[in-house]
């Protein structure tokens, strides 16, 4: 049942085979309206809710066991077989093999980290860090972008846009520059983007539009502009993004020898990752490929705590899809009217109105999830522990370790639990935050961190300042190495 379509503009490149066993479906169970896979919608046209990519699994060839992926050809000459996203193609089969786009995403690492485990309060061997900084653009966003970009190419898009706190734009810009298939148009808020990320968008040649306002403003505008100009939108409101991000969990499971951990801990911004992880586990479970679903912990920064507020304080639930939108819309309106802006050093999660809010509620239900909030102080201390005991990460990723520690202290996570913290982005994305924390430059500390309530850098690793004199240098090294 393969349907061939020839999008007007994609003609000449290759005929794109689209299977009707993949489709899009409204997430609201009372609606459930479906759309063809080769259409572009950001919302259900009947009820306004988000869409999922869904499959008629009975008519697809699915793996009998996850261990079949151990034979996948990581050393293959075919880049799509090596991709950490597309080697799981049979679990996100919305495009035909010829249509898949890759820039080498998903070659990531699941790293055991005992010193971080000790900090969190877990037994040795109990904590793994899923390090997504190894992606080509340095964050997990490349997983989702591989899928969204593939869909954009399938429908013949020539321009793709996003609003971004930085990493989505870096990822889109990288896909555009490597493939030369599309022009990237990026919306950012003013002064709210880490320089590592901005430098990527500029260097990769993206058309970068800086809006006076924050991420939430940029998000609103990009949707309007994309609609008006017919530009393909790759924010995580795009359901194909979330398909690609499922593979983060496939790689976690593979890294654990296909054993399901007790907890997956992830920072929450627009809530794409958490939503996508919930979908991944729901599908694996329904296909009989895993026998239980791990618990999910989503970590908000205290300065961007919408999910925490509505889920933990107000007790809002998905309830099998009997979605109550009044408390959510009411809260968003209240935020708008009071002029309250998200504010955290973890700029990647500095978002007050997460677009995937309802999908995340669904994921929390499926995964018996919890939501936790952590201060910027806790985020940066957690980040410093990751740096000292692993590959390092940007501030937002430090939230997962800080959150795991807090949930451990609250007794929600047990000392013997097996926990995976997702490190969403590379250390070098935001060098200012790291240097402000460690360097001991009071002016820089006050400007970047002090204004956000961070009092001290508990794990600061200061440079030792010595005169340019051999004896004094030797002396300083000897005394410092004894001290440590
Ligand atoms: C985008 C991003 C997040 C937030 O992820 P969501 O899926 O939007 O919740 C967290 N950390 C980093 C480094 C990011 O780039
Ligand atoms: Zn609908």
CA atoms within 13 A on the CB side of 52: 25
The atom of ligand 1 lying closest to the CA of 393 is 13
**pLDDT confidence of residue 214:** 83
Å from CA of 347 to ligand 1 middle: 9
Residues within 5 Å of ion ligand 2, judged at the Cβ atom: 26, 28, 31, 33, 44, 46-47, 49
CA distance 448 to 395: 12
Q: What would the pLDDT profile of 60-97 be if each residue is shown by its tens digit?
A: 999 999 999 988 666 677 888 899 999 999 999 999 99
Q: 160: which residues sit within 8 A by CB, 6+ positions away?
A: 148, 149, 152, 172, 176, 182, 183, 184, 185, 231, 232, 233, 234
Q: What would the pLDDT profile of 201-211 be if each residue is shown by its tens digit?
A: 999 999 999 98
Does ligand 1 have an atom closer than 6 angstroms to the CB of 372?
A: no
> What domains does the chain contain, in order, with CATH numbers?
1-60 (no CATH), 71-139+238-484 (3.40.50.1100)
Q: Mean pLDDT over residues 355-364, rounded?
A: 97
Residue 216 and residue 351 in contact, taking contact as beta carbons nearer than 8 Å: yes
Tokens standing for residue 92: 């996100």
Q: Give backbone dihedrals phi and psi of 128, rounded to 5 degrees, phi first.
A: -120, 145
Using pLDDT thresholds of 50, 70 and 90, give the confidence band for residue 175.
very high
Does ligand 1 have an atom closer than 6 angstroms to the CB of 270?
A: yes
Does ligand 1 have an atom closer than 6 angstroms to the CB of 356?
A: no
pLDDT higher than threshold 60 for residue 317: yes
CA distance 40 to 48: 14
Q: 313: which residues sit within 8 A by CB, 6+ positions away?
A: none
Q: Mean pLDDT over residues 365-394, rounded?
A: 97
Using pLDDT thresholds of 50, 70 and 90, give the confidence band for residue 153.
very high
**pLDDT confidence of residue 469:** 96
Q: Range with the lowest mean pLDDT among 192-196, 411-415, 431-435?
A: 192-196
Does ligand 1 have an atom closer than 6 angstroms to the CB of 139?
A: yes
CA distance 230 to 136: 28
**pLDDT confidence of residue 10:** 35
Find the ligand nearest to 31 CA.
Answer: 2
The atom of ligand 1 lying closest to the CA of 166 is 15
- Give the residue, by CA position, lying nearest to ligand 1 atom 4: 269
Does ligand 1 have an atom closer than 6 angstroms to the CB of 396?
A: yes
Does ligand 1 have an atom closer than 6 angstroms to the CB of 397?
A: yes
Our mutation pick for probing the ligand 1 site, out of 249, 352, 396, counting the most ligand atoms within 8 A of Cβ, is 396
pLDDT higher than threshold 80 for residue 413: yes
The atom of ligand 1 lying closest to the CA of 397 is 11
Å from CA of 399 to ligand 1 middle: 11
Q: Mean pLDDT over residues 241-267, rounded?
A: 98
Residue 150 and residue 179 in contact, taking contact as beta carbons nearer than 8 Å: no
**Which pTM value belongs to this model?**
0.94
Q: What would the pLDDT profile of 4-20 be if each residue is shown by its tens digit?
A: 333 333 333 333 444 57
Å from CA of 425 to ligand 1 middle: 8
pLDDT higher than threshold 60 for residue 34: yes
Using pLDDT thresholds of 50, 70 and 90, give the confidence band for residue 194.
confident
pLDDT higher than threshold 90 for residue 453: no
* Gyration radius of the chain's alpha carbons: 22
| Percent of the chain whose pLDDT exceeds 90 | 80
Å from CA of 393 to ligand 1 middle: 12
Q: Mean pLDDT over residues 367-371, rounded?
A: 98
The sheet with strand 419-423 has its strands ordered as 109-112, 127-131, 419-423, 263-267, 295-301, 370-374
Q: Mean pLDDT over residues 34-60, rounded?
A: 95
Does ligand 1 have an atom closer than 6 angstroms to the CB of 273?
A: yes
Using pLDDT thresholds of 50, 70 and 90, give the confidence band for residue 484.
low
Does ligand 1 have an atom closer than 6 angstroms to the CB of 349?
A: yes
């Amino acid at each position: 049942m393969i349907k061939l379509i020839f999008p007007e503009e994609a003609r000449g490149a290759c005929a794109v085979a689209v299977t009707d066993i993949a489709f899009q479906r409204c997430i609201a169970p009372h609606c459930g309206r479906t759309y063809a896979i080769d259409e572009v919608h950001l919302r259900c046209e009947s009820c306004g809710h988000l869409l999922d990519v869904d499959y008629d699994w009975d008519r697809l060839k699915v793996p009998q066991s996850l261990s079949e992926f151990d034979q996948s050809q990581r050393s293959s000459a075919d880049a799509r077989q090596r991709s950490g996203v597309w080697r799981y193609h049979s679990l996100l089969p919305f495009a035909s093999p010829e249509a898949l786009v890759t820039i080498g995403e998903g070659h990531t690492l699941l790293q055991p980290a005992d010193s971080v485990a000790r900090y969190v309060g877990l037994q040795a061997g109990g904590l793994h860090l899923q390090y997504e900084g190894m992606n080509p653009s340095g964050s997990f966003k490349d997983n989702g972008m591989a899928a969204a970009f593939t869909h954009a190419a399938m429908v013949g898009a020539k321009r793709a846009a996003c609003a971004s706190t930085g990493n989505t734009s870096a990822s889109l810009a990288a896909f555009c520059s490597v493939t030369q298939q599309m022009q990237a148009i990026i919306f950012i808020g003013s002064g709210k983007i880490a320089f590592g990320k901005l430098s990527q968008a500029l260097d990769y040649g993206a058309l970068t539009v800086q809006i006076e306002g924050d991420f939430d403003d940029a998000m609103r505008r990009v949707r309007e502009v994309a609609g008006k100009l017919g530009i393909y939108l790759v924010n995580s409101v795009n359901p194909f993004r979330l398909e690609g991000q499922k593979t983060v969990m496939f790689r976690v499971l593979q890294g654990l020898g296909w054993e399901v951990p007790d907890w997956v801990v992830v920072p929450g911004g627009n809530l794409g990752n958490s939503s996508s992880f919930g979908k991944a586990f729901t599908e694996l479970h329904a296909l009989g490929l895993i026998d239980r679903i791990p618990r999910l912990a989503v970590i908000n920064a205290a300065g961007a705590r919408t999910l925490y507020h509505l889920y933990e304080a107000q007790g809002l639930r998905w309830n099998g899809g009997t979605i109550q939108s009044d408390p959510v819309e009411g809260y968003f309106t209240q935020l708008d009217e009071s002029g309250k802006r998200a504010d955290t050093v973890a700029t990647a999660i500095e978002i007050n109105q997460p677009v995937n809010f309802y999908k995340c509620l669904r994921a929390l239900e499926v995964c018996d999830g919890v939501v936790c909030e952590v201060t910027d102080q806790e985020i940066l201390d957690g980040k410093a522990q990751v740096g000292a005991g692993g590959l390092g990460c940007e501030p937002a990723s430090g939230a997962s370790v800080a959150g795991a520690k807090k949930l451990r202290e609250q007794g929600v996570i047990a000392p013997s639990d097996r926990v995976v913290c997702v490190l969403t982005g590379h250390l070098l994305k935001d060098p200012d935050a790291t240097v402000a924390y460690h360097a001991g430059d009071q002016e820089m500390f006050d400007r970047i961190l002090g204004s956000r309530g961070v009092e001290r850098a508990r794990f600061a690793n200061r440079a030792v300042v010595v005169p340019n004199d051999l004896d004094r240098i030797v002396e300083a090294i000897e005394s410092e190495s004894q001290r440590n």
